[in-house]
Amino acid sequence: MNAIIALSLFGISNLFLGFLKNRKILLPATLIFILVAFGLNLADWNHEYSWFNNMLKTNNLSINFTSVILLATFLVVAISRHFGDDEEHSHPAEYYAIMLFSAVGAIMMVTYENLIMLFVGLEILSVSMYVLTGSDKRNLRSNEAALKYFLMGSFATGILLFGVALVYGATGSFDIYGIGIAVTDAKAQMGGQYGPILMAGIILILVGLLFKISAAPFHFWTPDVYDGAPSIFTAFMSTVVKTAGVAATYRLLSISFPAMYGLWGNPLVYIVGATLIIGNITAVYQQSFKRMLAYSSISHAGYLLITVLAKRPETNSSVLFYSLAYSIATISAFAVLIIVSEAKSKAGKADESFDALNGLAKNNPFLAFVLAVSMLSLAGIPLTAGFFGKFFIFTDAFSNPSSLFKGILVVAVLMSAVGIYYYFKPIIAAYMKKGDTDKIEISPIYKYTLILTTALTIVLGIAPDLVKKLF
């Protein structure tokens, strides 16, 4: 929990560091800040603490999610090496500070005990993201993305807040455990008949959260925003924001509303199905690597939501494993995209399509290997973490006896096959197509970060128990 306080302070100190002449210190300082927060976070391991009059509550699950968020933040910051180089982003300190602040919001979203904290966390995260999305100030698409994200995002948060108010009206509590008790009582007294206020409240909260996770049909902002934002922040959005959103949804549904599974379970199954189908099928038609990753993030939201639905004790670790596997693979992919498109724009041909990757295996075999591993992991092929992520999800989902669920599994399996189709496009471009023969040089920090993500992907693909046995 001290991580939240520490990160907020670090964010502010980052702003002050920006006054220094020596900008080179910013990146290492931010990385150290995140590592310190990581350590503080782990200090609470195996203790359940309530903080600030039951506003936040840490347990091992929330600590694990916080670790994933901090790891993702760390990796994204690490690959932002060249971010402050151009005129456009001449004050990188602000961006680093905002990233730290949004990490604070994300951590609040996975540790909240009071719905107010969920709202505050979500707002901290979202407002930071609106700013970061628009940080390419002179780029029209970046501006469009920021405006779009801001308008739609504010609506979604408003809807969520409205839902929180209704749930409070129905149960008399903001506390997720308190709500859980009230709901169970209501079930016992009224035999499964809930008032319309409670039901409307749950649905509105879910809409707000599903918007942040970019599940269909609340996904329309995703491709444009992901495409318009600078790649580094797209990587941040598709990992940190998604993990936080799924963890928050999971926390709420599994603690407050398990008794009302009948109400939200079936609609969510259809939402998962729609998300999987829309995300995967649309990804097939993309010509831009970045846009493909945007749609792929929609589809992974679908897989992640399956775990939210599966009622099984092991589900905790499955959500966590999947978000970890997904985050590191996505960051690898974005890092390759950033490096390649940087090299392309230096050569005067800015390009974020698959063609930009042509001949990568020759220009830089290491990058091509990193790309291949991350794509295989996202596609869920064995030897990579992504395979076990999918495997645990399928196992959890299969233990749910409902036949609707068996249907969704078949959809998920078919869509995994579709996924292979588009995840192989970059691999084919990198290994089998000929490109222009410029060698691509990468700086050491990229190299070490990518070695870390790739090694982690493979290690988790061989020994998933390293994460699984944390529970």
Tell me whether residue 183 or residue 378 sits nearer to another protein (CB atom). 378
Binding residue for another protein, selected from 43, 347, 383, 455, defined by CB under 8 A: 383
Q: Is 421 a residue that touches another protein (CB under 8 A)?
A: yes
Binding residue for another protein, selected from 185, 398, 443, 451, defined by CB under 8 A: 398
Vertex 209, ends 412 and 43: CA angle to 5°?
95
Vertex 81, ends 76 and 87: CA angle to 5°?
115
| Residue corresponding to tokens 């309530």 | 50
Tell me whether residue 11 or residue 380 sits nearer to another protein (CB atom). 380
Structural contact between residues 163 and 208, judged by C-beta atoms closer than 8 angstroms: yes
Backbone Cα Rg of the chain: 21
In the complex, what is the shortest distance from the CB of residue 64 to another protein, in angstroms, rounded to a whole number? Answer: 14
Please say whether the dihedral angle defined by the alpha carbons of residues 167, 168, 171 and 173, taken in this order, is positive or negative.
Answer: positive
With helix as H, strand as E and coil as C, how does 155-198 read?
HHHHHHHHHHHHHHHHHCCCEHHHHHHHHHHHHHHHCCCCCHHH
Tell me whether residue 257 or residue 387 sits nearer to another protein (CB atom). 387
Structural contact between residues 27 and 77, judged by C-beta atoms closer than 8 angstroms: yes
Contact region with another protein (CB under 8 A), list: 27-35, 169-177, 292-300, 381-389: 381-389
Contacts with another protein, 255-294, as mask; x by CB under 8 A? ----------------------------------------
Q: Is 404 a residue that touches another protein (CB under 8 A)?
A: no
Cα 200 from Cα 192, distance rounded (Å):
15
Cα 252 from Cα 118, distance rounded (Å):
10
Contact region with another protein (CB under 8 A), list: 118-126, 219-227, 272-280, 460-468: 460-468
Residues contacting residue 296 through CB under 8 Å, at least 6 positions apart: 279, 283, 378, 419, 422, 423
Cα 365 from Cα 251, distance rounded (Å):
42
Contacts with another protein, 306-345, as mask; x by CB under 8 A? --------x--x----------------------------
Q: Is 25 a residue that touches another protein (CB under 8 A)?
A: no
Contacts with another protein, 426-445, as mask; x by CB under 8 A? --x--xxx------------
Tell me whether residue 24 or residue 434 sits nearer to another protein (CB atom). 434
Structural contact between residues 58 and 104, judged by C-beta atoms closer than 8 angstroms: no
Partners of 288 in the β-ladder: 353
The site for another protein, by CB under 8 A, has a size of: 33
- Give phi and psi for 186, each to the nearest 5: -60, -40
Cα 355 from Cα 348, distance rounded (Å):
15
- Give phi and psi for 42, each to the nearest 5: -70, -20
Cα 183 from Cα 192, distance rounded (Å):
10
In the complex, what is the shortest distance from the CB of residue 420 to another protein, in angstroms, rounded to a whole number? Answer: 5
Using CA atoms, how far residue 104 sits from 8, 24, 121, 226, 250, in Å, is 7, 24, 7, 21, 19
Tell me whether residue 164 or residue 379 sits nearer to another protein (CB atom). 379
Q: Is 355 a residue that touches another protein (CB under 8 A)?
A: no
Binding residue for another protein, selected from 96, 387, 405, 446, defined by CB under 8 A: 387
Contact region with another protein (CB under 8 A), list: 68-76, 90-98, 270-278, 417-425: 417-425
Contacts with another protein, 357-376, as mask; x by CB under 8 A? -------------------x
Tell me whether residue 439 or residue 469 sits nearer to another protein (CB atom). 469
Contact region with another protein (CB under 8 A), list: 245-253, 278-286, 294-302, 425-433: 425-433
In the complex, what is the shortest distance from the CB of residue 129 to another protein, in angstroms, rounded to a whole number? Answer: 34
Contact region with another protein (CB under 8 A), list: 29-37, 133-141, 281-289, 410-418: 410-418
Q: Is 455 a residue that touches another protein (CB under 8 A)?
A: no
The residues that touch another protein, with contacts defined as CB under 8 A, are 314, 317, 376, 381-383, 387-388, 391-392, 394-395, 398-399, 409-410, 413-414, 416-417, 420-421, 424, 428, 431-433, 463-465, 468-469, 471
